[in-house]
Each structure stands twice: as C-alpha cells, then as structure tokens.
Amino acid sequence: MTGDHPRNTGPMLSSQRCGAKTRSGKPCRSPAVHGKRRCRMHGGAAGSGAPRGNKNAQKHGLYTREAIAQRRQLGELMRQSRKLILKIE
C-alpha cells in the first residue's frame, strides 16, 4: 500500500475465515459472510443452499429433522427406563 492514509482493515483481517476446501486442497482464506461460516463464493451468499423442506436429494430420510428427533426421544426414554430399573432393584 502506498501513502500514509490510516487504513481500517482490522475487522476484515480479524474476521472468521471461510475454510472451505479449495481445488488446490487448501482451506479457503476468504472472510466468511457475516452470520455464516462460509464466504460468498462457498455457499455463504444470500439465497444459496437448498430451500427449506427440499426433498430432491433425500434417499432414506435417516437424517430428516423428524428422524433425528425420534432417535433422540428414544434415547431419552431408554436413559429414563434404565434409571427407573436401577431404582426398583
């Protein structure tokens, strides 16, 4: 840089990096979009990503919100019953 103008690049330099894997195999060094974890080139741009409830790529539904919640609930039930059994014995 030339001149003696005090440049205000601190926030830009200290912001979170994108980190997406680039074609050279190294992590992307661009700053992430505010409020997102990727830069504007790697899925951080507004309107990028699949729409909510998109079923185009769904193969088995093992990772749908409902399936995950169901598994979590089942685990909690198992934990509670185990505790109850220990209490009874």
Contact positions vs Zn ion (CB under 5 A): 18, 20, 28, 30, 39, 42
CB of residue 5 to Zn ion, shortest distance in Å: 28
**Long-range Cβ contacts of 42-49 (<8 Å, 24+ apart):** 42/18, 44/18
CB of residue 54 to Zn ion, shortest distance in Å: 23
CB of residue 14 to Zn ion, shortest distance in Å: 17
Exposed, middle or buried by CB within 10 Å (0-12, 13-18, 19+), for 28? middle
Q: Which is nearer to Zn ion, 27 or 75 (CB)?
A: 27
